[in-house]
Structure 1
Amino acid sequence: MSKIIFLNPYDPKAISGGIKVTYQHAGILAKLGHEVSVYQPAGRPDWLDISSQVTICDTYDPSPDSVVVFPETLSAFLLDYAKAPHAGPKVMFCQNQFYLYSYGLSGQELRDMGFQHFIVPGRETARSLSAVLRVPNVHIIPNSVDTSLFYPCPKQLCVVTNPGKWPAERGNSALAELILAMLHLKYPHTNTIPWIALENMPQHDVAEAMGIATIFLALSRQEASPLTPLEAMASRCALVGLLGTGGKDYATPHNGRWFSPEQCEEIVDCIASLLFEISHGAPSVDSMLDEAEKTAKQYSVNATYQAVARVYGEIFARAGL
């Protein structure tokens, strides 16, 4: 079987959906019988369950017949590695097209480096890469929700959110803190409603918080396919918030209440209304939660497994591996 190396040179304490998905793909390929390693010289992430079949290495020394999978963050030594000749296929796993665009590399420059295939998590990113960079061979491997982790539990009247998606910067307030302050100012009776910030938490703790929460405030920002809102849908949280670009792939008026970043007051009004409706058992909320669960089920682990097998099978076949 083929050899695959994923480059993931990040701090092991760095928590992100992108790192989680990289290790998921590595684990699937190892399960399919391939020899899979992840280059992460700083060590193994301790917040993530990783397949024992995946080797984590601290040296980058690909064999000529190996498939090398780069992230889209081509800075510093990663760019040097990308520019270095490699006899086997080079693949870019682009989990955020905006990161890639920020380096100013054209599609032709990427092709000249040897990138033959581009893997993305959703239709919106595939469309964007094709339009902006005009690169060939863009493959979609959808993200998935692990429903053995993310599922509804007995609910408590509380709100969970991912504040790190929209931090304070250049004089602008952190969006989560701003929305919370506005909610308490406009609707003082909400002061007693707990808020849970999903920060620096192992995925089991995130799943537990989502399981008990009634509302998830999505603050996704410039993402290819926001995964956390889908996990909240599977947990039967009422979704309020932002699409984060890639959310266009799955957001509808029926599975959540969606806004633009400029609509802070409208988001506040919506949270207050939902808290009231949930407290009084409004049927409209149950209908929205049902639609959200249906949406999350479309992003199954099996669908990701099948897509990984199909896409990498095509890459191997084209390379004669």
Structure 2
Amino acid sequence: MGRIHYLLLSREGGVSGGQKMAVRHVEALRDLGFDAVCYLGVGSAMPTWFEHQAPVEPAKVLGRDDVIVIPDDAPEAIEMALKLGGRAVIFAQSREGFAALGFRPLSRFPADRFPPILAVGPAHAATIRRAFPEARVELVPCFADERRFAPSRTKKRVISLAPRKRRLEASAIRALLGRLHPRHAETTWYEMVNRSEADVARALGGSALHLSLNRLESVGLTTLEAMASGCVCVGFLGIGGRQYATADNGLWVAEDDCEAAADALAEALDLVDRGGPKLERMIEAARETARAWSHAAFLPRLEAAWMRLAPDARTLTP
């Protein structure tokens, strides 16, 4: 029987949605009866910004029946898997990162050893199938964790945002909102920078609005977490957000159009201030969207994928 090893490569244990999802896979697999662990790369550190129950193993030589799950943006690890043989799976969470860093080493695998690929969203899966028609692609969508992200009893007139990928745009939108819509110039903003998952969950749960600053996302998980938290969501989709954005579940604008984002924020603030059925419908549509990308929806997809990839790693019946 083999063990499933999710490779984690992080020298500082910093904030990364990809790291969190890998750890959540391990937790879920163990709950489903699979023998799975986090496999810590040499010189790497486990993330400390979220709590987890996943077991951790240091780097070591794997057995013939073991499976290593490699991040799509780790070319050296992909090359090593090619050299050593054994059972490998690629965990694809970033379209651009995969293309820039993972495509070249992956293309060197012979057809009879080409590793299966786990994709976190349908659009990303479609891109992978287009790039590698010979690949076995398993769609296991990422999830906005309803066990952690939910509305607080009281919402405050606060705009939450995670500006890490769009710092210039965040500053521009804030300035444009105050200048073009002076009635909203004194609005409270909350920047989620280097915060723990628990802090982010509290911030989103208590914020009435969320400025979506997705950029080059395969899905756009923070926006889905904001939807699950009952926020009115406004802003950019980062390409991947197009998989779930509708005219009913948020106020979305064209990529990089900061003026349009400021106008949409003003509209959203007016909606929050007025209250009423239109606001309630948008919030409920957003929460319904998040439910389609929930942990509950994720579990059967993960179970089915690994029953195809490594049924021998399932040692217990949950």
- TM-score with structure 1 length normalisation? 0.90
Equivalents in 1 of 2:170, 2:110: separation in Å? 40
- 2:83 alignment partner AA: A
**Residue in 2 that maps onto 1:220:** 214
| Runs of 4+ that moved beyond 6 A | 318-321
Equivalents in 2 of 1:261, 1:255: separation in Å? 18
Residues 1-321 of structure 1: pairs in structure 2 closer than 5 A: 2-40=2-40, 41=42, 42-51=44-53, 54-75=54-75, 77-87=76-86, 89-103=87-101, 104-105=103-104, 108-111=107-110, 114-153=113-152, 154-167=154-167, 174-317=168-311
- 2:252 alignment partner AA: W
Paired residues, number: 311
Equivalents in 2 of 1:262, 1:45: separation in Å? 31
Q: Any unmatched runs of 5+ in structure 1? A: 168-173
Equivalents in 2 of 1:134, 1:240: separation in Å? 36
Equivalents in 2 of 1:84, 1:319: separation in Å? 23
Asked whether the 8 Å contact 1:151–1:211 carries over to 2, the reply is yes
Relative to structure 1, the CA distance from residue 133 to residue 106 in structure 2 (aligned partners, 3 Å threshold; closer, same or farther) is: farther
Equivalents in 1 of 2:258, 2:225: separation in Å? 23
How big is the shift at 1:111?
4.9
**Residue in 2 that maps onto 1:171:** none
How big is the shift at 1:257?
1.2
Equivalents in 2 of 1:35, 1:274: separation in Å? 47
Equivalents in 1 of 2:314, 2:149: separation in Å? 39
Aligned-pair identity (%): 27
Equivalents in 1 of 2:254, 2:132: separation in Å? 26
Asked whether the 8 Å contact 1:48–1:203 carries over to 2, the reply is yes
Relative to structure 1, the CA distance from residue 95 to residue 277 in structure 2 (aligned partners, 3 Å threshold; closer, same or farther) is: same
Relative to structure 1, the CA distance from residue 39 to residue 107 in structure 2 (aligned partners, 3 Å threshold; closer, same or farther) is: closer
Q: Secondary structure at the match of 1:69?
A: strand
How big is the shift at 1:282?
4.2
Equivalents in 1 of 2:314, 2:208: separation in Å? 51
- 1:4 alignment partner AA: I
Equivalents in 2 of 1:240, 1:262: separation in Å? 13
Q: Secondary structure at the match of 1:27?
A: helix
- 2:52 alignment partner AA: I
Asked whether the 8 Å contact 1:26–1:38 carries over to 2, the reply is yes
- 1:315 alignment partner AA: L
Equivalents in 1 of 2:112, 2:82: separation in Å? 5
Asked whether the 8 Å contact 1:106–1:133 carries over to 2, the reply is no
Q: Secondary structure at the match of 1:290?
A: helix
- TM-score with structure 2 length normalisation? 0.91
How big is the shift at 1:108?
3.4
Relative to structure 1, the CA distance from residue 206 to residue 143 in structure 2 (aligned partners, 3 Å threshold; closer, same or farther) is: same
Q: Secondary structure at the match of 2:184?
A: helix
Equivalents in 2 of 1:113, 1:244: separation in Å? 35
- 2:51 alignment partner AA: D
How large is the Cα RMSD of the aligned pairs? 2.2
Asked whether the 8 Å contact 1:124–1:248 carries over to 2, the reply is no
Q: Any unmatched runs of 5+ in structure 2? A: none
After the TM superposition, which of the residue ranges 32-41 and 158-167 deviates more from structure 2? 32-41
